[in-house]
Structure 1
Amino acid sequence: MKLHRNLVFAAVDALGMIFNDSEQADKVLRKVLKFDKRWGSRDRGFIAETVYDIVRWKRLYSEIAEVKAPYSRPNLFRLFAVWATLRRIEVPDWKQMEPIPSRRIKGRFDELSKIRKYRESIPDWLDELGEKALGKKWDAEMAALNTQAQVVLRANTLKASVKEVRNTLADQDVDTKILDGYPDALELMERKNVFTSEAFKNGYFEVQDASSQRVARYADVKPGMRVVDTCAGAGGKSLHLAALMENKGQIIAMDIYEGKLKELKRRAKRAGAHNIETREIDSTKVYKKLYNTADRVVIDAPCSGLGTIKRNPDLKWKLQPDFLEKVIQRQAEILNNYSKIVKENGKLLYATCSILPRENQEQVQAFLATEQGQKFILDKEETISPAKTGYDGFYMALLSRKQ
């Protein structure tokens, strides 16, 4: 592979923004990929994949390159040189690139790869937390979370079946495969920008991880129900619920962020989901008005997001122990408050995109021990393992409210 100066410089620019300015990787890439309109899909793909790779392996590469944050521009080029050397890509003789001792880089890589916190490139505190929480499973889960996420689509059955979406995309030179056990899912055979396709513009599909697609189904919704999606965000789960309910009944999608609900409205219009009503939670009155009224309440709770490291590798560096403690406390408050929306004989779905028991099983058990929680019984629960499925890590618990 021949390296092109403008693409390498763009990748280094992006890394500076992510590592030194604490900007989100996906937002940085959206900005950087607009630098040059002449870049084709292969050029953009090189920048994105290189940046995500170096972000994913930041600790390991920093140790090999002997550099530390905050990273100077020469340091960022050293990180890039380590990345290239380990991929057997010839490092160009540019003034920005120091002479690369490739044998020493490979030797350090072999040496450091024997130590998990370097091999999986994670902070000490996270490695200790994961081992304490998951024991021997932590090795496999962390290794799986460090692999590149596949692009998975969810066919919008309000407009087209899985086969119809697959055939429409095939006509546009986008090859997909059907996933066993995921009724609405299609996985891309190779990474492509599907957002420019006519099928996307017409609302035939959404991009949604295979594990995430299992959440709405777990709620056991039926057409005609009243469903409250309490932490709806930009609406991935709400849109899936609308499809499962065949546009019949009512979905009240709530969130504390107005901007996310505006995005949900745009997506719902494209998807042809007409049974979704959005409500911004700007006071406790918004959800208190709904107490004892819903057949189903979905709590896709704020969480550490550990199960999504595949697609958000910078999360490893942004997540802090104090945030984890705060979010666990917030989950308990949300469970207590929003569970009151469930009517008698209704059901509550609690879900996170985390693999930590403290946010999952232990959180549900703690809720069931409270005065409010004693009105519920646990029907079923499931942890989705990245190591076993190859997709994001999730947890789901379905609880029934007693009469």
Structure 2
Amino acid sequence: MTPAARISAAIDLLCAIEAAPRRPADATANSFFRERRYIGGGDRRVVSARIWDVLRGWRRLHWHLRDITGGPSPRTLCAAPLLLAGENMDTIRSLFSGERFAQSPLTSREDVALKTLEGKSLSDSAMPRAVRLEFPDWLEPHLEATFGADLETEMLALNGAAPLDLRVNLLKTDREKAQDSLRKEGLNAVLSDLSPWGLRLDGRQPVTASQSFRDGLVEIQDEGSQLVVAAVDAQPGQRVVDFCAGAGGKTLALAMTMRNKGQIVACDVSAQRLEGAVKRLRRAGAHNVERHLLVSGDKWVKRRAESFDRVLVDAPCSGTGTWRRNPDARIRLTEQDLAELRVKQADILDRAASLVKPGGRLVYATCSILAEENAQQIEAFQKRNSAFKSVPAGGDILPERLRTRDHFSLTPHRDGTDGFFAAIMERVAS
């Protein structure tokens, strides 16, 4: 594709993302490229990177373009980052030539607005802090409560690009062999720092097209998510529930730690997500997993009260810890969303807790950085339910500094992972 065709495709993709404001941008992008298979892999990566740059700079770009009548458009939002990175207006105008595969020429209004950006930088000292650090205004006191004086450093890290983390599937291989297999396919992964199962690649790479992935040697999973699984400490022969299993990322890792021995029940309220786990389980060679769809009026939980050794609650949350990967999520998040999520998390935690047998372990986890969804949820739960006490994670998989803690938080700045929280509790034996 020509440079003009690439920016045209980026504008079309951004239009599609704006047309589906409640749908994750990566899902929209996947559909967009599936419908345009003529866009090759290299061009796809360039177009995707351009859009993700726009989403990461969303508030700052709108601040720069605030004087455009009617507000910024996908055209100006895709052109502005190029100017703020040092391009000049002549180059931008050439990308909007109106020729084949190119966008129509800039209007006089667009031209004037974009020309004011020449020589400027994306970040500006005149910007309000929430704009400069790319988070909603209403979230500022919540972030201050979480990070205090480290707010700026943490938010800058959370607005950076994320690496691509892989979990080696010990049911089929070991870390060194998986690393060598990837290397032979041109994917040079390094050992992760915190997870003994982890490998890390720079940026977006075509891992899912590799034979190593197709053979189930590796799964895509952030290192922080791997550490949450380690905190569950699921052992061979145990009965385990992944209560909010989704498409099964943590379920797969639990099967691995259990060496395919014992029983795992992957529960979710979405039949589509559970169905999506089937192919992944088959590829990984995980044979000790059954799926259960949670529906209204379902008595499955009640009938299996206090019968599981381990219960993982990977609760639905704001996803603030994943903003490096999903920068569009910060645009969508509202105060009402957070309030509704807190109610939902408390209800899920109460129901899932009833499944834990005396002496069994309950792990509550989120990919959120907000105290309201994390420590405050645990405090409130333990006030409602005195049968559970906090216990150290223990085990020999977690880094030593986390083993002695009954809860831990991970952040991109401090730990190099996505933002995660995990709390470890045990039902007191009666």
Q: Tell me the equivalent position of 2:211.
A: 198
Aligned with residue 120 of structure 1, among 129, 133, 141:
133
Show CA shifts across 1:124-143 (max 9, x none): 11234322443222222211
Contact preservation (8 Å) 1:383, 1:394: yes
Contact preservation (8 Å) 1:120, 1:143: yes
SS of residue paired to 1:368: helix
Q: Tell me the equivalent position of 1:82.
A: 80
1:121-136 to 2 correspondences below 5 Å: 121-136=134-149
Whole-Å Cα distance in 2 between the matches of residues 325 and 113 of structure 1? 32
Distance 1:70 1:142, change over 3 A: farther
Contact preservation (8 Å) 1:175, 1:190: no
Show CA shifts across 1:113-159 (max 9, x none): 65321212222112343224432222222111100111111111111
SS of residue paired to 2:5: helix
- TM superposition shift of 1:3: 6.2
Say yes or no: does 1:96 pair with 2:97. no
Say yes or no: does 1:55 pair with 2:81. no
Q: Tell me the equivalent position of 2:413.
A: 387
SS of residue paired to 1:187: strand
1:2-401 to 2 correspondences below 5 Å: 4-22=3-21, 23-34=23-34, 36-66=36-66, 75-89=73-87, 90-93=91-94, 94=96, 95-97=104-106, 98-99=110-111, 104-107=117-120, 109=122, 111-112=124-125, 115-189=128-202, 191-282=204-295, 283-370=297-384, 373-379=385-391, 380-401=406-427
Structure 2, unpaired ranges of 5+: 97-103, 392-405
Whole-Å Cα distance in 2 between the matches of residues 39 and 92 of structure 1? 23
- TM superposition shift of 1:27: 1.6
Whole-Å Cα distance in 2 between the matches of residues 68 and 220 of structure 1? 55
Structure 1, unpaired ranges of 5+: none
Superposed CA RMSD: 2.1
Distance 1:123 1:96, change over 3 A: farther
Q: Tell me the equivalent position of 2:399.
A: none
Distance 1:67 1:10, change over 3 A: farther
Whole-Å Cα distance in 1 between the matches of residues 132 and 194 of structure 2? 32
Q: Partner letter of residue 389 of structure 2?
A: I
Q: Partner letter of residue 308 of structure 1?
A: T
Whole-Å Cα distance in 2 between the matches of residues 213 and 67 of structure 1? 45
Whole-Å Cα distance in 2 between the matches of residues 230 and 52 of structure 1? 32
Contact preservation (8 Å) 1:19, 1:71: no
Between 1:143-152 and 1:25-34, the stretch displaced more is 25-34
- TM superposition shift of 1:99: 3.4
Between 1:106-115 and 1:381-390, the stretch displaced more is 106-115
Show CA shifts across 1:299-319 (max 9, x none): 011111110111111101111
Whole-Å Cα distance in 2 between the matches of residues 69 and 159 of structure 1? 58
Contact preservation (8 Å) 1:150, 1:188: yes
Q: Partner letter of residue 387 of structure 2?
A: K
Between 1:277-286 and 1:306-315, the stretch displaced more is 277-286
Q: Partner letter of residue 374 of structure 1?
A: S
Contact preservation (8 Å) 2:304, 2:355: yes
% identity of equivalent residues: 33
Q: Partner letter of residue 7 of structure 1?
A: R
SS of residue paired to 2:172: coil
Whole-Å Cα distance in 1 between the matches of residues 85 and 187 of structure 2? 28
Whole-Å Cα distance in 2 between the matches of residues 236 and 27 of structure 1? 17
Give the alignment's TM-score, normalised by structure 2.
0.88
Give the alignment's TM-score, normalised by structure 1.
0.93
- TM superposition shift of 1:46: 0.7
SS of residue paired to 1:153: strand
Whole-Å Cα distance in 1 between the matches of residues 170 and 217 of structure 2? 8
Between 1:209-218 and 1:26-35, the stretch displaced more is 26-35
Whole-Å Cα distance in 2 between the matches of residues 181 and 69 of structure 1? 49
Contact preservation (8 Å) 2:409, 2:421: yes
Q: Partner letter of residue 298 of structure 2?
A: T
Q: Partner letter of residue 58 of structure 1?
A: W
